[in-house]
Amino acid sequence: MIRSFLFQVDSDELLPPGRAYAFYSCLLSLLPEGYAEAMHEQGETPISQCIYSERGKTFWRVQLLNELSNEGFSATLQELSTLPVNTGDVHLKLLEDNSFTADELIKKARKIESDRFFAIRFLSPTAFKQSGRYTVLPDKELILQSLMNKWNVSFPSYPLEDEDAFRMLSDGIRVSDYNLRTTRFALKDTKIPGFIGNLRFDTHLSSPLFDICKILLTFSEYSGVGIKTALGMGGVKASIRIADL
């Protein structure tokens, strides 16, 4: 089950996406003993979170991606109104608290009326890692592989592991437009290279494959894309209907 929390941050200025790391560190310190270590032992940390700004306001979005993270974080997030970060208390207002199963997400995605276009808005710096190096190009295969890996961590009972289906899905998707720029994500003493902005695709897929595409795009808003999504990178919003682009 996924559980999704959205907070509005009470701040006189818009916070940069990199502040998400401080928020996450503070949140970990509030967890019951042992939960943080148990989650990080899984490899792919079953949480994503990011800070982004819209309409002159700052928002903090936290997504719990499996039962372990739900058990560890949910009670704390439900009651959270102040985060004692190192620069001083940050006041929060809980706007949304939603939960759903894999079946519910799949049904929601399949009901979306769509044409062959979709788009992703990268809210916080996004990157991938290949052969020990950061990759800051929005490669469609890296995006798809990232989403499938995160899906399998969240919903191991509904695995997406068919290599032939992955290849056909990738072959049927084409980048048709983009408005991106490179940026950096501050993490301790390191600035990780990444990109933010908008990316648009068109597709030529069979109905079953387009269903998978819609499911992964719907899931992306909760899982994030790429590396270090638990620390605040890779936050996205997806649009599957042309009217939303």
| pLDDT per residue rounded down to tens, the chain (245 residues) | 899 999 999 988 889 999 999 999 999 888 877 666 666 665 557 899 999 999 899 999 999 998 888 888 899 999 999 998 877 889 999 999 999 999 999 998 988 877 788 899 999 999 999 888 898 888 899 999 999 999 998 998 888 888 888 999 999 999 999 999 999 998 888 899 999 999 999 999 998 999 999 999 999 999 999 999 999 999 999 876 544 43
Break the chain into its structural domains and give their ranges. Answer: 2-100, 102-244
Work out the angle between the directed axes of helices 140-154 and 207-223 (0-180°, nearest 10): 70
Return the beta strands (E) in 24-137 as ranges. 47-54, 57-64, 82-85, 88-100, 117-126, 128-130, 133-135
Alpha-carbon distance of 8 to 236, in angstroms, equals 17
CATH class of 2-100: alpha beta
Helix, strand, or coil (residue 60):
strand
Alpha-carbon distance of 88 to 146, in angstroms, equals 35
Work out the angle between the directed axes of helices 102-110 and 207-223 (0-180°, nearest 10): 120
Predicted structure pTM score? 0.90
CATH class of 102-244: alpha beta
CA dihedral (96, 101, 102, 105) in degrees, to 10, reads -40
Alpha-carbon distance of 101 to 3, in angstroms, equals 9
Q: Which of 37, 51, 61, 65 is nearest to 156 (CA)?
A: 65
**2-100 matches 102-244 in fold:** yes
Between CA 115 and CA 121, with CA 119 as vertex, the angle to 5 degrees is: 155
Name the burial class of residue 120, with classes exposed (0-12), middle (13-18) and buried (19+) by CB atoms within 10 angstroms of its CB: buried
Work out the angle between the directed axes of helices 163-171 and 140-154 (0-180°, nearest 10): 140
